[in-house]
Amino acid sequence: MAVDYDLAIIGNGEKAVLLAQRAAQLKARVALVTEASALEFEHLLACLGQMLRDRTPPEQFPQAIARTQQDLYAYNRLEFLQALGVDVILGTGQFSDRATFTTAAPSSRDIRARAFAIAGDRPPQLRQIMGLDEIAPLTYEHLLHLDKLPKQVAVIGGRAIDCTIAQILCRLGYQVALFTDGPHILADLDVEIARILQAQLEVDGAKIYTSTRITAVTKLERSTYQVWAGDLTFRYEQILLPSWHLNYLQAPYDRWENQLNLARAGISFSVGEIRVNRKRQTTNRRIYICQHRTDIHTILTNTLFLPIAKVAKQDRAMVPQAIAMSPPNASVGMNEIEARLQYGQDLYVLHQTDGENPGSYKLLCRHNGKIVGAHAVGSNAISLIETVAIAMHSKLNIYQLSRLSDAVPSPIAQLAVKLDEQIYSRNLRKQRWLERWFNWRRQWDIRSPDLAQQA
């Protein structure tokens, strides 16, 4: 059966755009089914960041949004893809069989491709909030089209994007409250780094309510909202949350599976997750899953050429991650909890501060100096983590890295000494042996033959 495209990509966000862009640059015929709101969301972050750097006052919020929309390139990504030859289809759809994807009305059409790639992350599981589907809360995408933003805003969520939005709005002069049901914000981040960023967010003026589950919201008179959190109630002028939270309220948690009709495509699940092999293939060999940037090269090789590329488990662990918050922060590899679960007592946690550039650095190593994770916050955080990521990819341990003290930031060069100190402090057997050795040596006064003749 003839096909229309070499690769059809279904999804929103940066990974879908990059996958389509690189496939088109390889001269493949590509289709991208996406929703414009996802790219608007990325553009929103760029706009708010520009406003923060320009110190825009709150009353000029709409004018600044309109001005930055004309200056930033991200807003025209779809036009850029179309110029490369990508067939961009705005909207959604679902699989009608194992080799056909049908887009939704009004532009209903059947897309047949040699291979499909679903790009994006599955929406996280959320708890129902009574009354939220009956009111009209703001989503992050709405910020691009507001004439005026209320002074008091409640942000629901403690993920990276929620915290970034909250910090930017605080620094623009708005009163922001952040609600999360976890013990701290940024649950996926290393605990120490997450608490440093949480403290900075509180310094910026945000009120953070941790271990606080929102159970219900109601709309009151004069355009105010009442938020119920257990026995506590709060009043705010507006509620702000990501759009996928509202989408979840309109359908059950398996919305992702139902919307795309993955069962019709022959895709199987295991413990609620899509079964994917190291080639990023599902149980339908035509359909691939792209959930990380490291998957892009593998999927392009397997779909456009020969299906021989595989994603190594350590590839993702070696990719640096950063959250667009102040102070700058970055991480690579495991966090401390994951590392302790895997290595137990064979884990050494090394801390270091940089006197010249304020910051805190944390390195996770094994007894042989192998680096399994690194986390940093401060002005040099990103450059330091990039250095560690290169060392991990090159299989350099901390001792080899410390010998390059002229080429790497000074905090890394000092951590090898701290690792030796920790290893020695834990090795009680070696300490007792050394104590007996020097006692015996002093008792018998062992000296070289030359010194003995002189005596």
Domains of the chain, by residue range, sit at 7-123+253-311, 132-245, 317-428
Model pLDDT, residue 41 = 63
Model pLDDT, residue 204 = 92
Digit-coded pLDDT (tens) for 107-124: 789 999 999 999 876 656
pLDDT band of residue 358 (cuts 50, 70, 90) is: low
Q: How far is CA 214 from CA 179, 220, 230, in A?
A: 8, 17, 7
Contact present, 372 and 343 (Cβ < 8 Å): yes
Q: Does 317-428 carry CATH code 3.20.20.80?
A: no
pLDDT band of residue 366 (cuts 50, 70, 90) is: very high
Least confident of 177-181, 299-303, 391-395, 406-410: 406-410
Q: What is the pTM of this model?
A: 0.80
Of residues 251, 256, 396, 372, the one with CA closest to residue 318: 372
Phi, psi of 271 (to 5 degrees): 55, 45
132-245 has the same fold as 7-123+253-311: yes
Least confident of 45-49, 96-100, 172-176, 386-390: 45-49
Digit-coded pLDDT (tens) for 379-431: 888 888 988 898 888 888 888 887 775 555 566 767 888 888 888 888 888 88
Least confident of 138-142, 159-163, 190-194, 275-279: 138-142
pLDDT band of residue 447 (cuts 50, 70, 90) is: low
Model pLDDT, residue 322 = 86
Calculate mean pLDDT across residues 270-288. 89
Model pLDDT, residue 313 = 66
Digit-coded pLDDT (tens) for 51-67: 666 667 766 767 776 66
Q: How far apart are CA 454 and CA 190, in angstroms?
A: 62
The architecture (CATH level 2) of 7-123+253-311 comes to 3-Layer(bba) Sandwich (3.50)
Model pLDDT, residue 249 = 45
Calculate mean pLDDT across residues 367-381. 90
Q: Which range scores top for mean pLDDT: 19-33, 36-50, 145-159, 167-181? A: 19-33
Distance in Å from the first CA to the final CA of the chain: 99
Which residue shows structure tokens 């067939």? 87
Pairing label, strands 216-220, 224-229: antiparallel
Digit-coded pLDDT (tens) for 223-267: 788 899 878 899 888 888 876 665 544 444 445 566 788 888 999
Percent of the chain whose pLDDT exceeds 70: 79
Out of 3.10.110.10, 3.50.50.60, 3.90.105.10, 1.20.140.10, which CATH number does the structure's domain 132-245 have? 3.50.50.60
Maximal CA-CA distance, the chain:
104
- Two tokens at 99? 């080799």
Calculate mean pLDDT across residues 334-361. 84
Burial annotation 141-176 (CB, 10 A radius, 16+ → b, else e): bbbbeeeebbeebbbbbbbbbbbbbbbbbbbbebbb
Digit-coded pLDDT (tens) for 4-24: 999 999 987 788 889 999 999
Model pLDDT, residue 251 = 44
